[in-house]
Structure 1
């Protein structure tokens, strides 16, 4: 994989500033402490370790996925939540339709999701293939999907006639400033995964689109530990990420955080509301 010339350097720390030795030493100490604080376990799909403390903050979207989901749920009797994570969001939408199921593809999340959702009457199904889900044709009249991959043809199969599909997705160009600074190309697996492509895909598979929007909110990191923790939890952004491999560019980002109080990147989000044509 292509990297920057310095990405693999373990011991080189460039500081072009002429700051006093004491100030530099204090900044290095905060840098190392931040890296140590990033060594925290990640459970379910909960970024509370860095968001609840305000160490990472994201801009507001021009829609609320939660409220749109609740609105769709008003007339739903049979619902599926795809990629439920640890069930955090789905459980917050309670009361749920009488028959509600969830899928999850990340093995460590499955037990967490079952513990959280089983008391609510939700069956959680492990999945490994988006194109072959363990449900009957037309089993659901509502399918929710937040930041999970999906196969449009399989979604169409699972929905009853007139059924609704609501999905919020992360665009391919999400947080590309991270990759640019670390000298790593954006992952090619999902190149082109943006709103227009996804809408066209849904239409070609027999869906009527009743809502489509995209947004580019800012995401800010307020210390280097928050950024490292984030990269450790989303390994697809920078495959094979390690602190030692990217120590020098991380140090340069840390210097910017010290100067400005934060370092920011641009997210990419889009949402699609679709109905299976009768």
Structure 2
């Protein structure tokens, strides 16, 4: 029997219409985070720099650091995400619907390119990045939310070997001509304060594909909450890796 494929493009389009990409209202406490991505980005930029962000979603995180750069450009494949991003846009921030697999910008244009939890093409990034420019990406590791995925018997990258995505990206960047590629990892504990916080996460992310469409999803969710409730909250994990590459 052919394995059913989950259409991530359709999923993100629907998320954009309903929610954008804003999880600020979630009540969740985290222990063991190794960094905050856009704060790491700020350490590598100058006021005169032009930045391109791949998979910008509805732009909330990007606009928070806009005053630190000369120009910021965000792209996303989702039309609804871009429409949300444009509404509160600042003068030096521009948003375009575009695929990261085919960047429509001049060669050697950007000082820094970023990608947070979004796919990228190392070759395309190298093309639009200036000589000695920096590419930074934070990605979700295969072992992220591992207890949730096991509880549901399905999940994003559940059957993949942990660390494979990071290794693949490093190889692609080196083959694209990046001279320095550094990697970092953390595996933090997350404590969701209420069941509704965890429900929100599962509804608006692809951690458990088609969450709520399987007959036993609600029972599995209730069992998970009961089994992983602690004094600090409902516990799961947040595993991330960071790549910083210099052209």
TM-score by length of 1: 0.74
1:141-167 deviation per Cα after TM superposition (whole angstroms, max 9, x unaligned): 111221211011110111111111111
Q: Which runs of 5+ in 1 are unaligned?
A: 3-40
Partner of 1:99: 71
Alpha-carbon distance in 2 for matches of 1:103, 1:261: 37
Instruction: Verify the 8 A CA contact 2:46 2:68 in the aligned structure 1.
Output: no
Q: Does 1:166 align with 2:142?
A: no
1:27-72 deviation per Cα after TM superposition (whole angstroms, max 9, x unaligned): xxxxxxxxxxxxxx9522211232xxx3x22334223322221122
CA RMSD of aligned residues (A): 2.6
Alpha-carbon distance in 1 for matches of 2:32, 2:126: 31
Runs of 4+ that moved beyond 4 A: 188-193, 257-261
Q: Which runs of 5+ in 2 are unaligned?
A: 4-16
Instruction: Verify the 8 A CA contact 1:84 1:104 in the aligned structure 2.
Output: yes
Instruction: Verify the 8 A CA contact 2:108 2:131 in the aligned structure 1.
Output: yes
**1:140, CA displacement in angstroms?**
0.9
Partner of 1:180: 150
Alpha-carbon distance in 1 for matches of 2:246, 2:47: 14
Q: 1:90 to 1:259 in 2, by over 3 A?
A: closer
Partner of 1:17: none
**1:108, CA displacement in angstroms?**
2.1
**1:139, CA displacement in angstroms?**
1.6
Q: Does 1:249 align with 2:225?
A: no
Q: Does 1:238 align with 2:214?
A: no
Q: Which has the higher contact order (CA 8 A, sep 6+)?
A: 1
Is 62-71 or 132-141 further displaced after alignment? 62-71
Partner of 2:52: 80
Aligned length: 231
